[in-house]
Structure 1
Amino acid sequence: MTTFGQFTYPEISAQAEALQAAWTQLDNQQDWIDRYLANPQFDEVIFIGSGSSYYQALTMAATFRKWTGRSATAHPSSEIYLFREQAVPAGKKVLVIGVSRSGESTEVILALESVHSLPNWTIAGISCYEDSTMAKLAECLISPLGKETSTVMTKSLSSMTFMMQAAIALAAHNGELSGELERVMNLDGGVVKAADAFIKPIVDQGSFNKYIYLGMGAYVGLGLEASLKIKEMSYVWTESHGTLEFRHGPKSVVDPGTLVCLLVSEQARAYELKVAQEMQEYGAFVLLITAKAGEDTAFANAVFEIGAEDVSDEARSVLYLPALQYLGFYTALHKNVDPDSPKNLTQVVKI
């Protein structure tokens, strides 16, 4: 009997509990929100991370911009450490928030250390480990149940993304957004179970030679993360693009055997579905992950409904992740690869 995925599978499956714990933890860290996210002195909030942490930083920054109306960006940690002047204009009052599951990634530590004593620069972080190097260097939000044994990030990423979004909603003093996130949190357990049952037969019955992930807005980071997930777990050929940008050249790679997974927003739904239909005409198997199926999605080969169609696209972000993570997991098993132990990778990347 195979033991492949003995850590990854239960960690994906436990993300609803991790979201609940992150939500509760925010009650203990309101001072962090007031000191950093809600503080009007900062001209720019910069979320930094490496790999999956950078991709969730993109979602965090998009959410911050939309919900607070203030300037925010996301950068790889190494850009702030090695190319700071190109990334951030001089003279701004900047808050840098390091994003790191372990709090031990060399690049994020070096980046935070390089700016923490500079005038007009303030550092903070979000992690799953309260005793980490980053947590000792900078005051951090902590996702209590985000800790993982497996190499690839799953419930850690879901819980940290959700926790930061909940903190942003509180910083914006927007009870409606907080209510949306509470609803998402309560839906997540059902979405996790449904995603598991939905994704496995698609992988078992399919024979895909490449995977393409498409998303826009806050879902750009999610698409990049989904692409990385399946690459880490199963070593397949994959790309991620902005949905409409994919039509400008990259679509040339689409043919029979291509799985195109589209993270459907409500804001750009009609445009995104036109792209999906076009890819199907080129021979792709089209998988839609959407708040709600309808006549406009009937063309697709597979449609996974996550619900919460009446909440904002940003608040719905973490509901897309279970299906994307299970897609990587079951593809690895289908290829007889252990997702717990990806080749060439370690849980913490150090230089």
Structure 2
Amino acid sequence: MNMSLGKLTISEISAQSAALSAAVEQLQLQGDWVERYLKAEQFDEVIFIGSGSSYYQALTMASTYRNWLGRSATALPSSELYLFRGQNTAANRNYLVVGVSRSGESTEVILALESVRNLPQYTICGITCYEQSTMARLAECLVSPLGKEESTVMTKSFSSMTFMMQAAIASAAEHSGLQAELDAVVEADADVVKRADVFIQSLVQKEQLHKYIYLGMGAYFGIAQEACLKIKEMSYVWTESYGTLEFRHGPKSVVEPGTLVCVLLSEQARAYELKVAQEMQEYGAYVLVVTAEAGEDTAFADGVFEVGGKQLSDEARTVLYLPALQYLGYYTALGKGVDPDSPRNLTQVVKI
């Protein structure tokens, strides 16, 4: 591996624990945002919108919102709300639209928010890492202060923004147990980041892999999508992501020796997801399980990375799964002699 490559990327992956802590402190200063938007009862549905990685974290935000608040929410690519609003929303409903954008400058997010901000049934707000961005001037935004990045590929910004929105949702729920879970995540994150670095670097050095499949359900489906994008952006490898059980319905035909199948294991559907993992191993896949805790039921797997926190909800553990997945993209890129700081064809902000 050429360790001189990707210095920005690895420094930002390694710094996400501090970014989570800063997000918690910032949210305390923006409690009025939670009151105005997430606690408000006039909204029939919340729509989280984003593009690329921001859409994938929107999926997890929406899943968390539904489960923790028991209210309707969905996630859409920004372009779907902007160009196909009638196909994605219903008349005579009141919507809160939450724009999700690291830079706050993504053209599609801005266009989508501008397209609905003057419509009577829509209210807009957002979450970003840049308080002076176009989106932050357009709509009131939560700001992850240490989520700012120099690298093109999102890592700590994704973790900190996802976590900050979950913390906002927990605050809106007024559930002390949820807030305690997120405190435990902040406390655990630094150790998880360090262990993930060592674990993934060793895996990449030992294994010869040429296909990468990421599987997740519930709050982890968006994370599986993001993991797929991370390794694709950084190292240009062939990769896909699916809902864990959905992968059995046709897509599993691509599995062969040299295929990594990474299962983001939930506790809610653990037994079912592990059956899928075992089946993929029988087809020749190298099976990596990312889980709260290993057990006899995961002993078959070729690799198991434990994040801890089995007592936590699947939603709360979400950001603890991210370091291993980000490092997998990073070290795979180094192994191929590719610089993850300068991904081909990509820019930090996508504009039309």
Counterparts in 2 of 1:239-250, with a 5 A limit? 239-250=240-251
Counterpart of 2:309 in structure 1 is 308
Q: CA deviation digits over 1:235-269, x for unaligned, max 9?
A: 00000000000000000000000000000000000
Q: CA deviation digits over 1:261-300, x for unaligned, max 9?
A: 0000000000000000000000000000000000000000
Q: Matches of 1:265 and 1:298 in 2, distance apart?
A: 16
Q: CA deviation digits over 1:133-170, x for unaligned, max 9?
A: 00000000000000000000000000000000000000
Counterpart of 1:228 in structure 2 is 229
Counterpart of 1:266 in structure 2 is 267
Counterpart of 1:99 in structure 2 is 100
Counterpart of 1:331 in structure 2 is 332
Task: Report runs of 4+ in structure 1 exceeding 2 Å deviation.
Answer: none
Q: CA deviation digits over 1:280-332, x for unaligned, max 9?
A: 00000000000000000000000000000001000000000000000000000
Q: CA deviation digits over 1:86-129, x for unaligned, max 9?
A: 01101110000000000000000000000000011000000000
Q: Matches of 2:148 and 2:17 in 1, distance apart?
A: 14
Specify the code of the residue in structure 2 equivalent to 1:176. Answer: G
Counterpart of 1:350 in structure 2 is 351
Counterpart of 1:201 in structure 2 is 202
Counterpart of 1:217 in structure 2 is 218
Counterpart of 1:154 in structure 2 is 155
Counterpart of 1:320 in structure 2 is 321
CA positional deviation for 1:3: 3.0
Stretches of structure 2 that go unaligned for 5 or more consecutive residues are: none
Q: CA deviation digits over 1:188-239, x for unaligned, max 9?
A: 0000000000000111111111000000000000000000000000000000
Counterpart of 1:176 in structure 2 is 177
Secondary structure at the aligned position of 2:223 is classed as: helix
CA positional deviation for 1:185: 0.9
Q: CA deviation digits over 1:6-49, x for unaligned, max 9?
A: 10000000000000000111110000000001101100000000
Secondary structure at the aligned position of 1:304 is classed as: strand
Q: Matches of 1:132 and 1:174 in 2, distance apart?
A: 32
Specify the code of the residue in structure 1 equivalent to 2:261. Answer: V
Q: Matches of 1:153 and 1:185 in 2, distance apart?
A: 19
Stretches of structure 1 that go unaligned for 5 or more consecutive residues are: none
Specify the code of the residue in structure 2 equivalent to 1:314. Answer: E
The total of aligned residue pairs comes to: 351
1:60 aligns with 2:55: no
2:3–2:334: 8 Å Cα contact kept in structure 1? no
2:289–2:301: 8 Å Cα contact kept in structure 1? yes
Specify the code of the residue in structure 2 equivalent to 1:243. Answer: T
Specify the code of the residue in structure 1 equivalent to 2:10. Answer: Y
Specify the code of the residue in structure 2 equivalent to 1:233. Answer: M
Q: Matches of 2:180 and 2:331 in 1, distance apart?
A: 33
1:7 aligns with 2:19: no
Give percent identity, aligned residues only.
72
Q: Matches of 2:40 and 2:157 in 1, distance apart?
A: 26
2:6–2:339: 8 Å Cα contact kept in structure 1? yes
Q: Matches of 2:75 and 2:269 in 1, distance apart?
A: 22
Specify the code of the residue in structure 2 equivalent to 1:303. Answer: V
Q: Matches of 1:60 and 1:161 in 2, distance apart?
A: 7
CA positional deviation for 1:2: 5.5
Secondary structure at the aligned position of 1:141 is classed as: strand
Specify the code of the residue in structure 1 equivalent to 2:232. Answer: K
Q: Matches of 1:345 and 1:328 in 2, distance apart?
A: 15
Specify the code of the residue in structure 2 equivalent to 1:282. Answer: Y
Secondary structure at the aligned position of 2:48 is classed as: strand
Secondary structure at the aligned position of 1:7 is classed as: helix
Counterpart of 1:294 in structure 2 is 295
Secondary structure at the aligned position of 2:49 is classed as: strand
TM-score for the superposition, normalised by structure 2: 0.99
